[in-house]
Amino acid sequence: MTKLSVNINKVATIRNARGGNNPDIIQVALDCESYGADGITVHPRPDERHIRYNDVISLKPQLSTEFNIEGYPQKSFIDLVKLVRPTQVTLVPDSPDQITSNHGWDTKANFEFLSDLVAEFTEYGIRTSIFVDADPEMIDYAVKTGTDRVELYTEPYASAYKKDPASAIAPFVEAARIVKKNGLGLNAGHDLSLENLAYFHQQIPWTDEVSIGHALICDALYLGLKETILKYKECLGK
């Protein structure tokens, strides 16, 4: 069954806008779990404009579901992940000044770098996932790094969904089949929403996990957090 990991970065953005601890990041994460989320995702960036490194450290002992830390593997990030030892680390090729992720790794050009990281995190008992585009060659090289999973960057699917769902999903189905054939786990994320998630899941039901933040938190402004999480899980057949 496909798990729903809730990315709480946007909640931290609201908190940071005023200082203090409102909303309380840890309480929101615990509430997400109690409402049915299968995991919590955070994406700490060097400028700590949303989730802060201290948040990540504080969250780990409080959570009862899977904890996924995603981000660019600079030294401070690597040290944080090794300290916290989450369930999963997702390696994302973000530059420090990026507003949000907008492409997957060139796994061919960065093969040695990624292979070394996978080996390092594996020694710490941390499941690894590499963020990739729906490109067969990039997936092939990701497989060779020894990673446990790949995460498909789904913004191109989300952008094209309204116009032609079948065409939008086609390259992702092909990519997902390659992942499955090679025995890797499959994650997906970026711009998945209540509008397009159910169709994605219907076409690629062997997806292990979807990580959703921005759209889910926006929906929660209208529906409430509990109802929103329930609706996203319905899209996953739960």
DSSP 108-154: TTTHHHHHHHHHHHHHTT-EEEEEE-S-HHHHHHHHHTT-SEEEEE-
Give the mean pLDDT of 105-129: 98
- The catalytic position among 33, 70, 151, 209 is 70
- The catalytic position among 33, 190, 201, 209 is 190
CB burial of residue 215 (10 Å; 0-12, 13-18, 19+)? buried
Q: What is the pLDDT of residue 103?
A: 78
Is 195 a catalytic site residue? no
Q: pLDDT tens for residues 1-16?
A: 999 999 999 999 999 9
Residue 74 has pLDDT above 70, yes or no: yes
Residue 95 has pLDDT above 80, yes or no: no
Residues 6+ apart with CB under 8 A from 34: none
Is 57 in contact with 77 (CB distance < 8 Å)? no
Q: pLDDT tens for residues 57-71?
A: 999 999 999 999 999
Q: What domains can you pick out in the chain, each with its CATH number?
A: 3-235 (3.20.20.70)
Is 70 a catalytic site residue? yes
Give the C-alpha separation, 189 to 193, whole Å.
10
Q: pLDDT tens for residues 131-148?
A: 999 999 999 999 999 999
Give the mean pLDDT of 205-218: 98
**Position 94 confidence tier, pLDDT thresholds 50, 70, 90:** confident
Q: What's CA 229's distance to the chain center, in Å?
A: 16
- The catalytic position among 43, 50, 151, 201 is 43
